Amino acid sequence: MNKIVKAEFLSADIKRFIISAPKIAVKRKAGQFVIVRSNSHGERIPLTIADSDPSEGTITLIVQGIGKSTKEINSFETNDYFHDVVGPLGQASEIEYFGTAVSIGGGVGAAIAYPTAVALKEKGNHTISIIGARTKELIILEKEMRAKVDEVYVTTDDGSYGFHGFVTQQLAKLISEQKIDYVLAIGPIPMMKAVAATTRPRNIKTIVSLNPVMVDGTGMCGGCRATVDNKTVFVCVDGPEFDAHKVDFDLLMKRNRTYLTFEKQSLEKQHICNNDKAFELALQAESVTKN
């Protein structure tokens, strides 16, 4: 059981939790994640460690409520408990001096990109961050990002805030104006695929963080397998970050649809909100074609 020290909404569907997990707080590195279970009947779901405070013994998780488990988590308040938290899992991000490094976060992906962007900055990179979302209300961590990195660009699909368009358009603009040495892209699969397509012609080193369905998170089940460079990898232990130019995104997208009908059923049982709307969100989060 891990206590929630602080819980607050960052946007309508996205909530930030600071939770007690002293061991993980000390050990975690940027890019690693935890697996949590919200209750004794819950699924094991992976969440990136967005930040940590080793002296307080806390870690930060930022959760987008898109399905049964994440919505239940987002109903948790300060002083509630996560049933299980295990980690830190996965390989840490490769943090080096690249030169100019762009980190792109789509939706809740901004939360996942945040720790790595900060670490890249600390390594001396000129660090640019692009935060994208469908609409203004869904933009998260802009303030936090501005405090830590050199340049921040915001994009919204509907033009309600920042640049009117997709993160890839903003990226293409940056690439045409200056030399970019490294790109990190985290968000919906179509977004990551589009970023890979944008940087491939210029051969810019591009890393994505993959989000397959996981169970154990320790390499025991193989459920999280993906194809990278024509080879099967287990994302939980070999990743989650991989060379974007070598990832088979179409396969990942198909595999992530395995449990769609169940997810809908699970939400229906939950009755916490307008089911269809929530389900649509879940669908969109995964398949909205941003480009």
Measure the CA–CA gap between 2 and 84, rounded to whole angstroms: 7
Q: Is 198 in the site for other proteins (CB under 8 A)?
A: no
* Residue with smaller CB distance to ligand FAD, 180 or 281: 281
Among 13, 43, 51, 241, binds other proteins (CB under 8 A): 43
- Compute the least distance from the CB of residue 180 to other proteins, in Å: 32
* Residue with smaller CB distance to other proteins, 47 or 204: 47
| Sole window of 58-66, 154-162, 264-272, 282-290 interacting with other proteins (rule: CB under 8 A) | 264-272
- Map the chain to HEC letters: CEEEEEEEECCCCEEEEEEECHHHHHHCCCCCEEEEECCCCCCCEEEECCEEECCCCEEEEEEECCCHHHHHHCCCCCCCEECEEEEEECCCCCCCCCCEEEEEEECCHHHHHHHHHHHHHHCCCEEEEEEEECCHHHCCCHHHHHHHCCEEEEEECCCCCCEECCHHHHHHHHHHHCCCCEEEEECCHHHHHHHHHHHHHHCCEEEEECCCCCCCCCCCCCCCEEEECCEEEEHHHHCCEEEHHHECHHHHHHHCCCCHHHHHHHHHHHCCCCHHHHHHHHHHHHHCCCC
Among 237, 272, 283, 288, binds other proteins (CB under 8 A): 237
* Residue with smaller CB distance to other proteins, 169 or 270: 270
Find which of ligand FES, other proteins, ligand FAD, none residue 37 binds, CB within 5 to 8 Å per kind. Answer: other proteins
The footprint of ligand FAD on residues 252-271 (CB under 6 A) is: 256, 263
Q: Is 42 in the site for other proteins (CB under 8 A)?
A: yes
- Compute the least distance from the CB of residue 234 to ligand FES, in Å: 5
Among 16, 28, 68, 148, binds ligand FAD (CB under 6 A): 68
Q: Is 258 in the site for other proteins (CB under 8 A)?
A: yes
The single residue listed with the structure tokens 């998780």 is: 61
Q: Is 112 in the site for ligand FAD (CB under 6 A)?
A: yes
Tokens of 20: 């007690």
Per rule CB under 8 A, count of chain residues that contact other proteins: 42
Question: CA distances (Å), 96 to each of 49, 92, 109, 114, in order?
Answer: 20, 12, 21, 16
- Which residues here bind ligand FES, judged by CB under 6 A? 214-217, 219-224, 234, 236
Question: Which positions lie near other proteins, rule CB under 8 A?
Answer: 23-24, 27, 37, 41-44, 68-69, 83-89, 215-216, 218-223, 225-227, 232, 237, 251, 254-255, 257-259, 261-263, 265-266, 269
Question: Which positions lie near ligand FAD, rule CB under 6 A?
Answer: 33, 43, 45-48, 62-64, 66-70, 108, 111-112, 211-214, 240, 256, 263, 282, 286
